[in-house]
Amino acid sequence: MAFHSSLLLSQILLLFMVASSPWTSATYPIQQTFFRCLSTNSKNSVPLSSYYTPNNVSSFTSVLNSTANNLRYLLPTVPKPVIIFTPLSELHVQTAVLCSRQLGLTLRVRSGGHDYEAVSYVSQIEPTFVVLDLCQLRAIEVDIPRGTAWAQAGATNGEVYYRIAEKSKVHGFPMGLCTSLGVGGHITGGAYGSMMRKFGLGVDNVIDVRMVDAKGKILDRKAMGEDLFWALRGGGGGSFGIILAWKLKLVNVPETVTVFTVAKALEQGATKVLYKWQNVAPKLDDRLFIRVIIQASSANLTANRTVLTAYNALFLGDANTLLGIMGKRFPELGLTRADCVETSWIGSVLYIAGYPNTTAPEVLLQGKPLFRNYFKAKSDFVRTPIPEEGLLGLWKIYLEEEVPFMIWNPYGGAMARVPESATPFPHRRGTLFKIQYVATWQDGTQSMARHMSWIGKLYDYMGNYVSKNPREAYVNYRDLDLGMNKKGVNSMMEASSWGLRYFKSNFYRLIKVKTRVDPDNVFRHEQSIPPLPVKKGN
C-alpha cells in the first residue's frame, strides 16, 4: 500500500509544496521547517492536506476538536499544539519521530482522543509541541479461520467490533464498552469491557504489535522482545513508542447473548441491593457481568431528588439460563423475563454503549461518541464491601452535585486468574470492583471550580472504604491530581505517587524497560514512565 516515490520526485514535490504553501517563513518558521524535514526524509510523499497549522484556524481547530473527548481541554486558555500531522502511512510516523528529534520538538500521540487529561493533544509541560494524530491509520483485517485480527492504532474499538461481527456471529473481542475509543491508546492501558469476567482485558488477548521506537525503527513482538511487549500491554500510552497496530486473538461468543437494565431508587431499597451486589457480583458465573450506573434523579438541586442505581448487564448465554442464575444468587434485584433482551454479541455492544435499540451496527463505523462533556473523573478499586452506613454517607455527598455519575464495575472471574505481574495492569485477585467517579457540566469555566471541588470531596470521603497502600487507580482513567512529571525533568518521587497507584510494583519494571528502550525520554507527557537518569561517562 505504501507509495515509494523516488528521491527526485519527492524533491520536486517539496519544491512545489513549499513554493505554493500559504506560510511565510517569518510567521511560521517551525511549521515550515518541520514540514520540510518530513518531505525531504520521507520516502512516502507528505501531502499538505495531512499537515495542519494555526495559519488556517478553521481547519486546524476542526482537526484538533475532531476526537478531543474532554471539552475542558479545548478551552481557549489551554495550550495548543503548533502543528497537527495526520500520517497516512507507517513511513510517515517513522519520519515524524526522526524529524521531531532532529528539531527538538516534542511529539504528542493521539489515536482516539479519549485521554481524560488530554495528554495526547495538550502539553502543560512543554511550550512547543506537535500532535501526531493517527486518525488516518485505521485499517482492520479480520482473519476468522485463524481467529485473529490486526487493527491499526487509529481504529476505534467500535469499528473493530463491527468488522469482527460482519464476518462472524460467534467471534468477538473483549475491550471497552464505550465504542469511540482509539485502540492505540485504549489497549495500552488495559482495556476492560463487558466480557472481562469471562476473558479478561484487551491486553490479556493481544498477541502481537507493530510499534515505532525512539530511533524511528518499526518493531514487532519478536524484534522488541518480551520485556517491551509486556510493558506495552498495560503500562499506559505515550511512554515507549508509537503503536501502529495491534494483533488481537479473537474470543468465542455464543450466537445469543442476553442484556438487561434494572433500576432501583433509594426508596426501592437501592442501598440494601447495592450492598448485596458488592458481595455477589464478583463471584457470579464468569459469563455474567453486571455493572451499576449510579446517577441522581434530576439535576435540580432544590427538587426532591433521589439516587438511582441502574444494574446494566451482559450475560454470554440465553435468558432462561440467566434467570436461573439470578434467582439463585441475586433474587434481591428481582430480574424478570420481561427485563431480558436476547440479542447477538454486536447487539449487546450497541446496547451496553447506550444506543437506542433501533440503531443499526453501522453507527459504529462513524467512530463518534454519543455525547461530549466538560468532565473530571477519578477511580478507585474496592477490596472489601462498603457497609450500608458508608453508602448512606456517600448518598449525602452525592446529592450535593447536579449531575453526579458513577460506574461500579465487577471484577472476579478471569480478572482474578491473571497474576498481578503478568501484565503491568495489577488490579487483579482480591479486587471486588472498580469505581469510576465523574463530574460533568456544560457551561465551560463558569461552574468548573465547584465541580472539581465536589469530586475532590467525594474522593476524600471514599478513602475510608477503598484499596490502601497504595490507593489504586486505573491508568486509562488518567488523573493528574495524583501527580505529574514536571517540565523536562522527571522526579522519581513525584512519579511514584501516580506510578504505584496505577501499576503497583510493576512500576519498577516499567521504569527499567523505559530506561533501556527510551533513555532520552523522547516519548514523554505529564504521566509518562520516567527513565532512570543516564550515568555520566557512558
Ligand X SMILES: *[C@@H]1O[C@H](CO)[C@@H](O)[C@H](O)[C@H]1NC(C)=O
Ligand Y SMILES: Cc1cc2nc3c(=O)[nH]c(=O)nc-3n(C[C@H](O)[C@H](O)[C@H](O)COP(=O)(O)OP(=O)(O)OC[C@H]3O[C@@H](n4cnc5c(N)ncnc54)[C@H](O)[C@@H]3O)c2cc1C
Instruction: Choose among ligand X, ligand Y, none what residue 65 binds, the Cβ cut-off being 5 to 8 Å by kind.
Output: ligand X
| Residue 382, SS3 per DSSP | strand
Cα separation, 115 vs 186, in Å, equals 9
Instruction: Choose among ligand X, ligand Y, none what residue 304 binds, the Cβ cut-off being 5 to 8 Å by kind.
Output: ligand X
Nearer to ligand X (CB atom), residue 52 or residue 150: 52
Which range, of 94-102, 173-181, 183-191, 302-310, touches ligand X by CB under 6 A? Answer: 302-310
**Binding positions for ligand Y, 147-206, rule CB under 6 A:** 153, 176-178, 181-182, 184-186, 188-193
Left if phi > 0, otherwise alpha if psi is -120 to 50, otherwise beta: which for 460? alpha
Cα separation, 456 vs 462, in Å, equals 10
For 500-516, letters b (16+ CB in 10 Å) and e give bbbbbebbebbbebbbe
Nearer to ligand Y (CB atom), residue 158 or residue 182: 182
What minimum distance in Å lies between the beta carbon of 347 and ligand Y? 17
Lookup result for grid cell 510523499? 45
Which residues, in sequence order, are CB contacts of 268 under 8 Å at separation 6+?
none
What minimum distance in Å lies between the beta carbon of 185 and ligand Y? 2
Nearer to ligand Y (CB atom), residue 165 or residue 377: 377
Which range, of 11-19, 61-69, 185-193, 430-438, touches ligand X by CB under 6 A? Answer: 61-69
Lookup result for grid cell 510517515? 92
**Binding positions for ligand X, 17-56, rule CB under 6 A:** 22, 56
Of 461, 477, 502, 508, the active-site residue reads: 477
**Binding positions for ligand Y, 229-258, rule CB under 6 A:** 237-238, 242-243
Among 51, 88, 96, 112, binds ligand Y (CB under 6 A): 112
477 noted as active-site residue = yes
Among 304, 328, 469, 536, binds ligand X (CB under 6 A): 304
Query: To the nearest 10°, the Cα dihedral for 168, 172, 177, 181?
Result: -80
Which residues, in sequence order, are CB contacts of 281 under 8 Å at separation 6+?
290, 330, 410, 412, 432, 433
Question: Which x/- pattern over 459-498 shows residues binding ligand X (rule: CB under 6 A)?
Answer: ----------------------------------------
Cα separation, 160 vs 178, in Å, equals 12
Nearer to ligand X (CB atom), residue 121 or residue 129: 121
Angle 510-513-514 from CA coordinates, rounded to 5°: 85
- The count of residues interacting with ligand Y (CB under 6 A) is 35
Among 6, 20, 77, 302, binds ligand X (CB under 6 A): 302
**CA nearest to 296, candidates 314, 284, 308:** 308
Cα separation, 141 vs 146, in Å, equals 12
Among 24, 261, 357, 442, binds ligand X (CB under 6 A): 357
**CA nearest to 195, candidates 174, 222, 166:** 174
What minimum distance in Å lies between the beta carbon of 303 and ligand X? 4
The grid cell for 405 is: 455519575
What minimum distance in Å lies between the beta carbon of 411 and ligand Y? 13
Which residues are part of the catalytic machinery? 477
Residues of this chain that interact with ligand X (CB under 6 A) are: 22, 56, 58-59, 61-62, 65, 71, 74, 267, 300, 302-304, 306, 357-358
